[in-house]
Structure 1
């Protein structure tokens, strides 16, 4: 949540700075005929980008994002874009805590499964501050929603079954793996990656602010800061149900850094 708070402060600071820059400029007089001609032009704008995201339900690296937008009209004189994105994110239980083993490896006691969410989404992006060419920044608001596909994958540990070095790679079970000194660490996320997977469908919605930073040619860099809420059809077992509770509803603040390119032209 600290990341989201800092990001919000950054957004407010940048918005204030941009507004001051705009107010300090003296616009050149425009003939009425030219103004009317400009109003009749429609913006043709397409953007494709990809990036990394972090959120309050994951670690530093929360997942991957691919997004696309294009201009489709206006709302109260503000450009409106069609917004399409796909996210793949990791979701953790708040009770997860990494602990060291006797041989300096690490594991999460009580964790039964990894849980990932695949999110195709569709929505609208309303642009409130447009970039002035390659100068300044652009600020917009995004509202999007879509289905979610939760993927539950077993979390494997290395366990010394007899205390004499006979190590098995097994899914954690609180009824069996009671002696912590025999746990030698996590077996890693790629261990038997496609074995034992379960699919849990759901839905999600998100609301975000988008900051389009300076570009060079058709390249762009930006930040997306917002909140996501998600509901699954059944409760995933991320941590052992014998040790704590899991939920099928998740809400998180997130920050995405993306890179991409855009094509923009104006036509009558």
Structure 2
């Protein structure tokens, strides 16, 4: 995980540095007259105006989840410029799965799987608001666009019981129950997970928190107003109290989580009226 986060930070640094070099004014020829040099030095680049809104939907994976980490809806619109680079208002909503790093899936004798010691799932709902600065603007349908995103917002942790199938007497009498380390000590009697949809709304608890994210956004080739892109970055999240993902009797849970993530999104652009 440390290597993944370090790679993301290096990517962000390279993107910003390259953008700054690209935006630097061209050097004046030594043979040019002094007056021309002064005019060139004092001339400022024109602001790159944006005139569209973007709405997209995506799938995300992160270092605290499995391959499918969650779902994302994101919206942005142009609101101005910063150092002659377009600035967008960034609004998004994420629903992601958060796991304890110590979770381990174990096979059973009947080819099912379960996570030993897991007491609850933890899903994080994250509305967020921030800014997106565009350093490289796409040239029509050619090339790629690169921008940097900084956003933050509240987190709503949804703690849902994790159920297992347990042979209570060793003779095939299977109960679907939440894991309890004081009762379900014999791993040979666990016949697997009962699935995420088991008693889905029963026993849910909400744990509030806050989160912050920093990301690089890559906008690929588009066809008409359609677009495809990648968002890669890091998130940090702090809950008001410690969720019990794995049993507190078996390990230590945490209030603070950080992760590297990758989101693939698809959406469309809409020109503002009157443009």
Give 2:39's aligned residue.
none
Q: SS at the partner of 1:43?
A: coil
- Shift of residue 11, structure 1, vs aligned partner: 8.2
2:76 aligned with 1:107: no
Structure 1: gaps spanning 5 or more residues: 23-35
Give 1:209's aligned residue.
216
What does 1:252-263 correspond to in 2, within 5 Å?
A: 252-263=259-270
Q: Deviations for 1:200-255, whole angstroms, at most 9, x for unmatched residues?
A: 00000100000000000011000001000000000000000000000000011100
Give 2:31's aligned residue.
none
Q: TM-score, normalised by structure 2?
A: 0.85
**Distance in structure 1 (CA, Å) of the matches to 2:106 and 2:220:** 40
RMSD: 2.9
Give 1:125's aligned residue.
132
2:86 aligned with 1:79: yes
Q: 1:118 to 1:183 in 2, by over 3 A?
A: same
Q: TM-score, normalised by structure 1?
A: 0.87
**Distance in structure 1 (CA, Å) of the matches to 2:199 and 2:64:** 24
Q: Deviations for 1:74-129, whole angstroms, at most 9, x for unmatched residues?
A: 00000000000000000000110000111111000000000000000000000000
**Distance in structure 2 (CA, Å) of the matches to 1:230 and 1:150:** 10
- Shift of residue 6, structure 1, vs aligned partner: 7.2
Match of 1:97 among 92, 95, 104: 104
**Distance in structure 2 (CA, Å) of the matches to 1:126 and 1:16:** 14
Q: SS at the partner of 1:181?
A: helix
Match of 1:157 among 164, 171, 183: 164
Q: Deviations for 1:31-73, whole angstroms, at most 9, x for unmatched residues?
A: xxxxx9x948842120000000000111111000000000000
Q: SS at the partner of 1:190?
A: coil
